[in-house]
């Protein structure tokens, strides 16, 4: 044999899953929510989504080019960031602000820290918070869903109504479930997000651990704080960005702990901060901030919850 064979250390076989495949699964899981947003907020929702995705991919491409690094747009992570950013914006937001959000998410939060896997906070959430603090009015300019016939052009989100005690103006729980309410693009339709979540569980992209602990904590907290009123609790669970955040944002691999108990602590922390902000803070919504805070704690949580290696506790007789 003249040609030498390939020699490499074991293992010589790898599973078929790739980063690109995982991101594609996340994109597929986001499609139901995207369709819902177009139904409720019209083509403007589609426009915001397309602009966010295209600008995220473009910024990713350009920053890799400028930094003279291998281009990574084919891993599709920028598409996911773009979609999630769009889902966290109101459909009325001026297009240039959407582009600015993409710039913050991709260039500042992701690429300046080294690209995929290196950002210490969730890019889409960081971008949403930057936009929120810069353009508070534009970021809370909510329109009435297309499916409701009314003369009003703008409205308030259910959480805002809850906070102000205007319970008679609240949409019904069923409306919340199908997404017929004011809010950011992708956060309104609970059923669409749940379908996406089930897809991600089945495809084993994420485990239900973080979403369940996050939502569960908010449920317990609001149930107790609302004097054991189930309705009050359900309104909190189905309003705001809780479902979207718990399923798609808090489960972001890079910015959540790798350890099992770390995931539990992280998710409970998210739930607690969300509830505290919603019930006692001056803002009506706290999902983004809670995830951002917990993102920053991830290295410490991971250190605290490092699993004990097999046999580290000495011999055990079964």
Partner 1 sequence: MGIFNSRGVKPAHRKHTDNQKAVRLENVASVTIPMRQHIGAPCTPTVKVGDVVAVGQVIGDTEAFMSAPIHASVSGTVSKIAEIRLANGEKVSAVTIKSDGEMRLYEGVEKPQYNSVEEFLKCVRSSGLVGLGGAGFPTHVKLKVPQGKVDTLVINAAECEPYITTDNRECIDNTADVIDGVELVCKVLDIKSAVIGVEDNKPQAINALRTEISNRKSNIVVKALKSKYPQGAEKVLIHSATGRVVPMGGLPMDAGCIVMNVASVAFLARYMRTGKPLVTRTVTVDGSAIANPNNFRVPIGAFMQDVVNAAGGFVKEPKKIILGGPMMGNSVSSLDYVITKTNNALLAFDEKDAKPKKETACIRCGRCVSVCPMKLMPASLEKYQRCGDAEGLENGAVLNCIECGCCSFTCPAGRQLVQSIRLGKTIVRTAQAERKKKEEAKG
Report the nearest approach of partner 1 to the CB of residue 252 (Å): 9
Q: How far apart (Å, rounded) are the C-alpha atoms in residues 238 and 58?
A: 34
How far apart are CB 197 and partner 1 at their closest, in Å?
A: 16
Cβ proximity to partner 1: between 68 and 308 the closer is 308
Q: How far is the CB of 213 from partner 1 (least distance, A)?
A: 11
Residues near partner 1, by CB under 8 A: 1, 4-15, 17-19, 21-22, 72, 75, 77, 114-118, 207, 209, 253-254, 257-261, 306-318
Nearer Cβ to partner 1, position 165 or 313?
A: 313
CB-wise, 232 or 261, nearer to partner 1? 261
Nearest in space to 29 (alpha carbons), one of 280, 242, 201, 213: 201
Judged by beta carbon, residue 146 or residue 254, the one nearer partner 1 is 254
User: Cβ of residue 110: shortest distance to partner 1, in angstroms?
Assistant: 11
What three-state secondary structure class fits 282? coil
Q: Are 161 and 170 in contact, with CB atoms under 8 Å apart? A: yes
- Taking the least distance from each CB to partner 1, the nearer of 17 and 65 is 17
What phi and psi values does residue 143 have, to the nearest 5 degrees?
-100, 160
Q: b or e along 104-132 (b: 16 or more beta carbons within 10 Å of the residue's beta carbon)?
A: bbbbbbbbeeebbeebebbbbbbbbbbbb
Quote the radius of gyration of the chain (alpha carbons, Å): 21
Cβ-in-10-Å burial (0-12, 13-18, 19+) of 175 comes to middle
62: left (phi over 0), alpha (psi -120 to 50) or beta: alpha
CB of 94 or CB of 307, closer to partner 1: 307
Cβ at position 273, least distance to partner 1 in Å: 22
Q: Which two tokens stand for residue 32?
A: 């139901």
Nearest distance from residue 157's CB to partner 1, in Å? 33
Query: Is residue 139 within 8 Å of 288, Cβ to Cβ?
Result: no
Residue 183's φ and ψ, nearest 5 degrees, are 160, -175
Instruction: Specify the DSSP class assigned to residue 154.
Output: E
Please provide the DSSP assignment of 28-85 as one string. HHHHHHHHHHHHHH-HHHHHHHHHHHHHHHHHHHHHHHHTT----GGG-HHHHHHHHH
| Minimum distance, C-beta of residue 114 to partner 1, in the bound complex (Å) | 8
Nearer to partner 1, 12 or 68 (CB): 12
User: Nearest distance from residue 282's CB to partner 1, in Å?
Assistant: 34
C-beta closer to partner 1: residue 98 or 197: 197
């Amino acid at each position: 044999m003249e040609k030498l064979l390939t020699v490499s250390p074991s293992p010589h076989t790898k599973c078929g899953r790739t980063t690109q495949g995982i991101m594609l699964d996340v994109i597929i899981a986001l499609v139901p929510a995207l369709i819902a947003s177009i139904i409720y907020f019209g083509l403007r929702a589609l426009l915001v989504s397309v602009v966010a995705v295209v600008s995220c991919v473009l910024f990713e491409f350009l920053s890799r080019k400028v930094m003279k690094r291998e281009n990574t747009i084919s891993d599709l992570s920028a598409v996911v960031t773009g979609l999630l950013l769009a889902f966290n914006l109101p459909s009325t937001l001026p297009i240039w602000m959407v582009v600015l959000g993409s710039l913050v998410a991709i260039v500042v939060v992701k690429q300046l820290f080294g690209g995929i896997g290196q950002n210490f906070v969730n890019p889409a959430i960081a971008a949403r918070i930057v936009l929120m603090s810069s353009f508070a009015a534009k970021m809370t300019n909510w329109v009435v869903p297309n499916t409701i016939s009314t003369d009003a052009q703008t409205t308030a989100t259910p959480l805002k109504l809850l906070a102000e005690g205007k319970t008679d103006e609240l949409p019904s729980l069923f409306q919340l479930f199908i997404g017929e309410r004011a809010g950011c693009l992708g956060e309104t339709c609970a059923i669409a997000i749940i379908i996406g979540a089930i897809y991600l569980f089945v495809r084993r992209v994420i485990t239900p651990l973080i979403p369940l602990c996050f939502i569960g904590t908010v449920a317990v907290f609001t149930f107790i704080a609302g004097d054991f009123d189930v309705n009050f609790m359900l309104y909190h669970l189905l309003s705001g960005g809780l479902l979207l955040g718990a399923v798609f944002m808090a489960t972001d691999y890079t910015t959540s702990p790798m350890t099992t108990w770390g995931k539990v602590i992280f998710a409970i922390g998210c739930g607690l901060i969300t509830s505290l902000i919603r019930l006692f803070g001056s803002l009506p919504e706290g999902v983004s901030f809670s995830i951002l805070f917990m993102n920053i704690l991830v290295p410490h949580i991971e250190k605290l919850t490092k699993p004990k290696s097999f046999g580290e506790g000495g011999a055990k007789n079964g």
